[in-house]
Amino acid sequence: MHTNNDNLLELQDLKVSFFTKQGEVKAVDGVSFSVGKEEIVGLVGESGCGKSVTSLSIMRLVPQPAGKIVSGRILFKNEDLMTKSEDQMRQLRGDRISMILQDPMVAMNQLLTVGEQLGEPFRFHDKVKGSLRDMCIALLGKVKVPAPESRVDDYPFQFSGGMSQRALIAMGIANNPDLLIADEPTTALDVSIAAQVLKLMKEIQKETRSSIILITHDLATVAQICTRVLVMYAGRIVENATIKNFYKKPAHPYSKGLIQSVPVLGRPVERLFSIDGQPPSLFEMPEGCRFSPRCSRAEKICFESYPPEIMLEDNHSVACWLYAGN
Amino acid sequence: MQGYILKRILIAMFTIFAVLTVVFFIFRLGPADPVAVMLPPNATPQDAENLTKKFGLDQPLMVQYTNYLKNAFKGDFGTSFRFNEPALKVLFERFPATLQLGLVAFVISVLVGLSVGIISAVKPDSFIDRIGRLVALAGMSLPSFWVGVMLILFFGVTLRWLPIAGKGTLAHYIMPSFCMSLYPIALITRLSRSSMLDALKSDYVVMARIKGVPEFYVILVHAFKNASIPVLTVIFGIFSGLIVGSAVVVEYIFSWPGIGRLVMESYFARDYPVVQVFVIFVTFVVVTMNLIVDIIYAYIDPRIRYQ
């Protein structure tokens, strides 16, 4: 764990559980990572691995009442968010830390105009200067929605999928947050629109100099805009690497599997590669490494205890027993 | 929007017409001969014939039907046998009492039901939620005729705190309005609770919180606006239901001088024109309420407004 005070965000051993009738579900089980200033970090993993819960935890918005942050520290600008009051958190949300949800069709309130929803980050953080409507129009223009002057009064159902996603991004970036979490911002979009949206996000990041955590299960998206990748599996970070290292020399068997699963254009294959087996049930986690039941290189120790985080080189660490000897 | 409202109005008018027709034929299908009912026991066959002619009952059914529709359009629904006055006038004389009681019960139901429902959804499993669920279960299960009698027995007869019958002071309103609002409170509580729970779980609520929107605004604007759509139908349905259904039972139990009691008395006295005009009036109230709900929907939900 490399700690330096230039980090914008640092999670230390974050544990988040859901308490259900069937028992405790450890959705996030000891996650530590940091995000530097102006960095774009990709958080990748399968559905249900805890990516979204991790990001909601950063905003202290884990679904209530079942979900609870059990332990850990969330340092944002060297201040522990776990010690903040609900009102202090509210003031941070939408101002210094913001988030874009994945499905714009359900993330927008269908009964309020796009303008009313865009104006909220300004209104509730006392950022209104002059006309709120003009601010919303400017914001829509910033995310390249055509004819923002008339579009601002539209309702979400009058927007196309791509435009809705742009409007959602606009809500996220309204107050130029230091940290923007984008939860699969392109999943609901078709490929060409997705590419436009990613390009837009990168442009905005350059302009606002904010840091971005991009949650996705799409490695192509990661390759396009991220500088660093965090691979998450069953509630834990298994690999933390720069984008270059991740694609050139992935260390964790799961990361290797993920990269192999991506079909390559121009290289025809009979059958796409897939990792055998299923992710473990959150109710019954394996004793040792969570990936061990699916891992082709698993050894005895892998089934017995969880591997420590091993530094391979600067900015590249992995949680895997294969590297414990070196 | 105008097209939408126009369509609703046409549907409402058609509904009223359909009910007028059904009412006409049902009352004529009935076994009781209205002439025999109206005449004193010592009347001659000649009297019966005269009366039959007077009411046009000797004419073919279709002619009677057209006359009935024509008269209905002019607001003439026949004459009450008992009062010898226009049936509609008899009904309207008694309607204010029903409306007053109905409004009191309606306001209580909406205020209590909505606030308990919303608080329960915002704080599930809290004290209010548990009590609310219990009261809702009781309100759904206990029939108002039983609750009414028990209230009279306990607060009227045993404790002698409240008047048991009639209309006069404010105290007269307490038992009947409580009795009438029990079921609507249960219904509104349950529905607003479940709609609010759904709304509070949705992504747009999470998104609003992400934007730093204060919680009261999230609950009352983002969540409640969405949750209110199903709740509104029930609320307006209840208003007509209170005036119609509960009024008959509750007014009868508490001897409240409204249309509910009137229709019971008229029914037992075979005063068919009054019963008939009651049914038509009830239809009119229900249809009007539904029309209002449809128009409010359009106002709340832009997806309807822009159809």
pLDDT band at A1 (very low <50, low <70, confident <90, very high): very low
Could you tell me how far CA A143 lies from the centroid of its own chain?
Answer: 20
Do A155 and B207 make contact, defined as CB atoms within 8 angstroms? Answer: no
- Scored b (16 or more CB within 10 A) or e, B167-197 reads beeeebbbbbbbbbbbbbbbbbbbbbbbbbb
pLDDT band at A4 (very low <50, low <70, confident <90, very high): low
Do A121 and B306 make contact, defined as CB atoms within 8 angstroms? Answer: no
How far apart are alpha carbons A201 and B34 in whole angstroms? 81
Per-range mean pLDDT, top range of A167-171, A264-268, B266-270: A167-171
pLDDT in tens, A178-210: 999 999 888 877 888 888 888 888 888 998 899
Do A111 and B214 make contact, defined as CB atoms within 8 angstroms? Answer: no
Sign of CA dihedral B127, B133, B137, B139: positive
In this prediction, residues A144-149 reach a mean pLDDT of: 92
Strand partners, A211: A179
Q: What are phi and psi of B4, to 5 degrees?
A: -60, -50
Q: What are phi and psi of A175, to 5 degrees?
A: -100, 25
pLDDT in tens, A249-262: 999 999 998 888 88
User: Which pLDDT value is given to residue B3?
Assistant: 85
Domain B90-305 indexed as CATH 1.10.3720.10: yes
Cα-Cα-Cα-Cα torsion A94, A11, A304, A247, nearest 10 degrees, comes to: 80
User: Which pLDDT value is given to residue A270?
Assistant: 74
How far apart are alpha carbons A294 and A317 in whole angstroms? 21
Lookup: tokens for A104: 């714009």
pLDDT in tens, A27-55: 999 999 999 999 999 999 888 888 999 99
pLDDT band at A315 (very low <50, low <70, confident <90, very high): confident
Question: When comparing pLDDT for A221 and A114, which is higher?
Answer: A114
Quote the minimal CA–CA distance from A167 to chain B in Å: 12
Cα distances (Å, whole numbers) of residue A71 to A75, A151, A307: 13, 44, 20
For chain A, percent of residues with pLDDT exceeding 70: 98
**Identity of the residue in B202, B210, B225 whose CB atom sits nearest the CB atom of A99:** B210
Do A94 and B210 make contact, defined as CB atoms within 8 angstroms? Answer: yes
Hey, how many other C-beta atoms are within 10 angstroms of the C-beta on A213? 24
Residue A322 identity (one-letter amino acid): L
Residue A221 identity (one-letter amino acid): T
Eight-state DSSP code of residue A324: S
Contacts 24+ apart (CB under 8 A), B60-67: B61/B28, B64/B28, B65/B21, B65/B24
* Residue B156 burial class via C-beta count within 10 angstroms: exposed 0-12, middle 13-18, buried 19 and up: middle
Which of A100, A105, A111 to mutate to test binding with chain B, by most B CBs within 10 Å of its CB?
A: A111
pLDDT in tens, B112-151: 999 999 999 999 889 999 999 999 999 999 988 899 999 9
Length of chain B: 307
How far apart are alpha carbons B43 and B47 in whole angstroms? 6
pLDDT band at A2 (very low <50, low <70, confident <90, very high): very low
Domain chopping of chain B, boundaries: 2-73, 90-305
Strand partners, A237: A232
User: Which pLDDT value is given to residue A186?
Assistant: 84
SS3 A100: strand
In this prediction, residues B172-198 reach a mean pLDDT of: 92
pLDDT in tens, B155-181: 988 888 888 888 888 888 989 999 999
Q: What are phi and psi of A297, to 5 degrees?
A: -110, 20
Given a cut of 50, whether residue A225 has pLDDT beyond it is: yes
End-to-end CA distance of chain A: 17
Q: What residues of chain A have any CB closer than 8 angstroms to a CB in chain B?
A: 56, 59, 61, 63, 65, 90-95, 98-99, 101, 103, 106-113, 120-121, 124-125, 155, 157-158, 168, 171-172, 174
Residue B222 with chain A: CB contacts under 8 Å: 109, 112
In chain A, the residue whose alpha carbon lies closest to the alpha carbon of B224 is A111
pLDDT in tens, B37-75: 777 778 788 888 887 887 777 788 888 889 889 998 888
pLDDT in tens, B76-92: 888 888 888 999 999 99
Do A121 and B212 make contact, defined as CB atoms within 8 angstroms? Answer: yes
pLDDT band at A118 (very low <50, low <70, confident <90, very high): very high
Hey, how many other C-beta atoms are within 10 angstroms of the C-beta on A138? 13
Residue B225 with chain A: CB contacts under 8 Å: 109, 111-112
Strand-strand pairing, A316-318 and A310-313: antiparallel
In chain A, the residue whose alpha carbon lies closest to the alpha carbon of B300 is A111
Quote the minimal CA–CA distance from B125 to chain A in Å: 10
The secondary element (H helix, E strand) that includes residue A119 is: helix A114-123
- C-alpha atoms less than 13 angstroms from C-alpha of A212 in its C-beta half-sphere: 29
**Identity of the residue in B201, B208, B225 whose CB atom sits nearest the CB atom of A111:** B225
Quote the minimal CA–CA distance from B223 to chain A in Å: 9
Do B212 and A94 make contact, defined as CB atoms within 8 angstroms? Answer: yes
Lookup: tokens for A109: 């309130």
User: Which pLDDT value is given to residue B90?
Assistant: 93
Q: What are phi and psi of B78, to 5 degrees?
A: 90, 180
Do B97 and B172 form a contact (C-beta atoms < 8 A)? no
Given a cut of 60, whether residue A326 has pLDDT beyond it is: no
Lookup: tokens for A175: 């107050």
How far apart are alpha carbons B144 and B34 in whole angstroms? 33
In chain B, the residue whose alpha carbon lies closest to the alpha carbon of A103 is B203
